[in-house]
Structures are given as C-alpha cells and as structure tokens.
Amino acid sequence: MRTRRDHTGVDYLSDALALLGGWSREGREIKRVLRLDDAQHAALTERVKIVADALQLSPSIRRLDGYTQIRVGTPNGALTAGQVTLAARIEDVYRAVTSD
C-alpha cells in the first residue's frame, strides 16, 4: 500500500499517529506500552479484540512486568489507515478502563 501524501509530500497517516501520544513505529509495527493493573489489562484486551476484529487486524497484546505491550503490524510494513484507526480506538479504550 502506498503512503498517503498531499501535493506537498506530507504523510497524513504518520501525522495522525504522531497525534496519538505514546505510539511509535518500530520496524514493520506500531507499538504502545501502557501501565495497567491486571483487571485493566483484561478489560482493555477484551475490548481491543472486538475493535481489531471489526478492522480485520490482529494486534499482539501481552502483559510483562506490570505493563501492557501492544503491537500492530502489517506484512509489507507500510502504515495503514486501519492501524491508525485501531491505535485511536485503543486510546479510547485505555481512557475508559483507567477512568473506571
């Protein structure tokens, strides 16, 4: 998939991802690390899987040393609108599970 750029060469998907604080690109993936307790991790994982299924994406979500690590990748390594959409929805879910 080609990167979406305007006539000045601006990459809108990278700009959109940059607006979602905490997300970064690493190789063929975007990633986010969140400090959550076990109950928050479980709630976030369940909700994210629903959104990811709707977007036909398969994020990797794991728990390690009190942190939740989320990775979303694509086979060709190009940042997609679906990845950015999922990242935005994960931020919504994160806010919801930490405000309960």
In the numeric block, the tokens 């909700």 are attached to 47
- Assess if residue 7 is contained within a domain: no
pLDDT value, residue 74: 79
pLDDT value, residue 9: 44
Is the torsion defined by CA of 99, 21, 36, 61 positive or negative? positive
For residue 66, give the CATH number of its domain.
3.30.1360.20
98: its two tokens? 């930490």
- Assess if residue 80 is contained within a domain: yes
- Assess if residue 12 is contained within a domain: no
- Assess if residue 19 is contained within a domain: no
- Assess if residue 15 is contained within a domain: no
CA 54 to chain centre: 14
**For residue 34, what are the domain limits?**
25-99
Number of domains in the chain: 1
In tens digits, the chain (100 residues) has pLDDT values of 445 555 544 588 989 999 998 999 988 899 999 999 999 999 999 999 999 999 999 999 999 999 999 999 977 878 899 999 999 999 999 999 999 6
- Residue 82 and residue 73 in contact, taking contact as beta carbons nearer than 8 Å: no
The pTM of this model reads 0.85
